[in-house]
Amino acid sequence: MSGHSKWATTKHKKAVVDARRGKLFAKLVKTVEVAAKTGGGDPAGNPTLADAIAKAKSQSVPNDNIDRAVKRGSGELAGGANYENITYEAYGPAGVAILVECLTDNRNRAASDVRVAITRNGGTPADPGSVSYLFNRRGVVLLTKTDGLTEDDVLLAVLDAGAEEVNDLGDVFEVISEATDLHAVRVAAGDAGLEITSADVSWLPSVSVPLDAEPAAKVLKLVDSLEDLDDVQNVWFNGDISDDVMELVTS
């Protein structure tokens, strides 16, 4: 669990180059559109849409882009695509288990691109179910550390909303909940005046594989290659990378 959380936090802090920011914007807008199509265009009655909009805004996606995505998804505006959720499974270097979440309007393209990225970076595609059993679907909220803020303060603010544990990851606090409680936990944190870094439904590993520098670098290269694909929304893996190793491979 900690390995992926640290990697997600590291990526969040790193400056996003323009080309990648364009890809990120497109993926966030796609998530908003699908959420509106699935549960309706009113965020007040669609928690999934509310969370998608909040995430897009936190990454500085322009409001006009978000509004158009909501209207396309709800049918108010023409041009919406028929996106399909597909999850691919794989083994990476050092036997690390990998889940790849896609949102695509072309299943064949997504399958081909994901397979090429995996095999070219030392991984092996896996059959459905052979990897996913190693992960649990959870809600993860990252909160920025501020002066004087403690784990107990965070837990007190979000416990009644469904938070199950709070972890200190260095620069942020990580709040874990059931996936269905993510929206309530995010709202409770915001109402308490806590600064939200990110809030996502995530696949967290139940078993982790410790990684030294060389395999860690290979795994992260594979993850980067997958995340660069237009159809890929999220990549999860069960490699546990220590702070020292993470510093070595990301510096």
CB 90 within 8 A of CB 98: yes
Going by the DSSP 8-state scheme, the letter that residue 90 receives in this structure is E
Say which residue the tokens 């288990």 belong to: 97
CB 112 within 8 A of CB 147: no
pLDDT of residue 81: 78
Say which residue the tokens 């969040």 belong to: 12
Domain 84-133+207-250 belongs in CATH node 3.40.640.10: no
Task: In whole angstroms, give the CA distance from residue 177 to residue 185.
Answer: 8
pLDDT of residue 5: 54
pLDDT of residue 13: 47
**8 closest CA partner among 143, 131, 142, 176:** 142
CA 231 from chain center: how many Å? 14
Task: In whole angstroms, give the CA distance from residue 161 to residue 109.
Answer: 40
Domain boundaries 17-74, CATH class: mainly alpha
Strand order in the sheet with 84-91: 124-126, 84-91, 97-104, 232-237
Query: Which residues have a Cβ under 8 Å from the Cβ of 148 and sit 6 or more positions away?
Result: none
**163 closest CA partner among 186, 133, 130:** 186
Query: Which residues have a Cβ under 8 Å from the Cβ of 8 and sit 6 or more positions away?
Result: 142, 198
pLDDT of residue 19: 54
| Mean pLDDT, each 10-residue run in order, the chain (251 residues) | 51 50 86 93 92 90 94 88 92 95 95 97 96 94 90 95 91 92 94 90 91 92 91 92 82 70
Which part of the chain has CATH 3.30.70.980?
A: 84-133+207-250, 135-205
pLDDT of residue 161: 96
3-state secondary structure of 192: coil
Alpha helical stretches, state H, the chain: 2-13, 18-39, 47-58, 63-74, 107-120, 151-158, 182-191, 213-227, 243-250
Rg of the chain over CA atoms, in angstroms? 18
Task: In whole angstroms, give the CA distance from residue 126 to residue 128.
Answer: 7
pLDDT of residue 96: 95
Architecture of domain 135-205 in this structure: 2-Layer Sandwich (3.30)
pLDDT of residue 3: 46
Task: In whole angstroms, give the CA distance from residue 145 to residue 151.
Answer: 10
Which part of the chain has CATH 1.10.10.200?
A: 17-74
pLDDT of residue 247: 82
Task: In whole angstroms, give the CA distance from residue 183 to residue 141.
Answer: 9
